[in-house]
Amino acid sequence: MSSAARPIERGCRIDANCKKVWGANKEFDLSIETDDYEHYACYVKEDFGDSFSGVLIMTALHYGEERAWQELDKMLAAMAREADALTDEERAMRHAQPAPEPFDLNKAIEQVRKIDESIAKSSGAKRAW
């Protein structure tokens, strides 16, 4: 096997493991960064087409690009094995987003007033409102 085939194979494996962990219908951006051209860190973000998510996973710094890519591959392989062991219900719960609590402006104003009163009592000062 040529050395050029290894990074392509690894990239395909990393992408497949990302899909196992975060969802088969998603696309991912695999990147590597360095500040000094000696130490590298790899990370994964979800690719939305016109923007990216925050970092989903990132390696520690490693000496050399190859070691950083190897670490990301190893981390994702372990996460994919764990995801494979989940039941359908556990998998659905893992990806479920909690429903946001509806915002109640009157409740928020009341909480601010209580905080304001508490501050006024402790400092002895009166607030303008």
Per-residue confidence (pLDDT) for residue 125, from 0 to 100: 61
- Please state, rounded to an integer, the average pLDDT across all residues of the chain: 86
**Which ranges of 1-87 would DSSP assign to H, the alpha helix?**
5-22, 65-84
pLDDT-based confidence at 1, cuts 50/70/90?
very low
What are the start-end ranges of the E strands in 1-129?
A: 27-34, 39-47, 52-58, 62-63
pLDDT-based confidence at 129, cuts 50/70/90?
low
Q: Percent of the chain scored above 90 by pLDDT?
A: 53
pLDDT-based confidence at 84, cuts 50/70/90?
confident
